């Protein structure tokens, strides 16, 4: 029993992915927008350590948030939206 426990503890991290911060999909989705830059939207996250659905979900929700803030008058441009992100 001690030997079995030792083998399990020895290989406990085998096959597990590298640990990333939970805000990584948010940041990758944010980079896809290219806020305030003249490059346009890039729909390829160029990051596949997380399932792509989480990145695209973040991407969509950021778009909804920008639309809601624009309609409500909180921000007037993508530069204002980016400034809100930086200041918060």
pLDDT, position 59: 94
Q: Are 66 and 81 in contact (CB under 8 A)?
A: yes
Q: Looking at the domain assignment, is residue 7 inside a domain?
A: no
Tens-of-pLDDT digits for all 88 residues of the chain?
Answer: 888 888 888 877 676 666 667 788 898 998 898 876 667 888 998 888 888 899 999 999 999 999 999 999 999 988 888 888 888 8
Supply the pTM of this predicted model.
0.70
In a domain, 41, yes or no: yes
- What does the pLDDT read at residue 55? 92
- Domains of the chain: total: 1
Q: Please report the pLDDT score of residue 16 as a whole number.
A: 63
Tell me, yes or no, whether 12 lies in a domain: no
Residue 43 lies in a domain: yes
Domain range for residue 83? 20-87
- Residue 23: phi and psi, rounded to 5, are -85, 5
């Amino acid at each position: 029993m001690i030997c079995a426990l030792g083998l399990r503890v020895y290989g406990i991290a085998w096959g597990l992915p590298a640990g990333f911060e939970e805000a990584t999909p948010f940041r990758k989705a944010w980079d896809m927008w290219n806020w305030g830059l003249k490059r346009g939207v890039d729909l390829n996250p160029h990051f596949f350590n997380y399932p792509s659905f989480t990145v695209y979900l973040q991407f969509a929700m950021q778009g909804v948030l920008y639309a809601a803030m624009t309609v409500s008058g909180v921000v007037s441009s993508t530069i204002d939206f980016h400034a809100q992100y930086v200041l918060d």
